[in-house]
Amino acid sequence: DTGVSQDPRHKITKRGQNVTFRCDPISEHNRLYWYRQTLGQGPEFLTYFQNEAQLEKSRLLSDRFSAERPKGSFSTLEIQRTEQGDSAMYLCASTIGGGRVETQYFGPGTRLLVL
């Protein structure tokens, strides 16, 4: 299967610890998105890459958050000094880009619980 994959699927951490999530997009997709979803809400946009360039960051992305896509393939999202409010599902999506209308393909998500 060549869908979007995310690792880990679940992460439990203590407040103050750092965590890193990985997303592997569909191989030919040059655009990659990170979203965050809290319980009972729809996903909210965090950041967007076109190839290796991070082109937009939401104001939801505080300075404790950093995302990279070093070779334009997989991406990582790191949260430093986690807080209980960071508990959420972190979703990655990819799309091929370049066209006027694009479907985003989502991974299964990483569920983070900060104790």
Partner 1 sequence: SQQGEEDPQALSIQEGENATMNCSYKTSINNLQWYRQNSGRGLVHLILIRSNEREKHSGRLRVTLDTSKKSSSLLITASRAADTASYFCATVSPSTGANSKLTFGKGITLSVRP
**Could you list the residues that contact partner 1 (CB under 8 A)?**
4, 6, 31, 33, 35, 40-45, 48, 50, 55-56, 89, 91, 93, 95, 97, 100-109, 111
CB-nearer residue toward partner 1: 30 or 80:
30
The minimum distance between CB 92 and partner 1, in angstroms, equals 9
CB-nearer residue toward partner 1: 82 or 95:
95
Please state the separation of Cα 110 from the chain's center in Å.
9
The minimum distance between CB 83 and partner 1, in angstroms, equals 21
CB-nearer residue toward partner 1: 19 or 49:
49
Say how far apart CA 104 and CA 60 lie, in whole Å: 20
The minimum distance between CB 105 and partner 1, in angstroms, equals 7
The minimum distance between CB 26 and partner 1, in angstroms, equals 13
Q: Which pair of structure tokens corresponds to residue 100?
A: 């006027």
CB-nearer residue toward partner 1: 20 or 106:
106
Say how far apart CA 97 and CA 12 lie, in whole Å: 34
Long-range contacts of 84-88 (CB under 8 A, 24+ apart): 84/15, 84/114, 84/115, 85/114, 86/112, 86/114, 87/38, 87/112, 87/113, 87/114, 88/36, 88/37, 88/38, 88/112
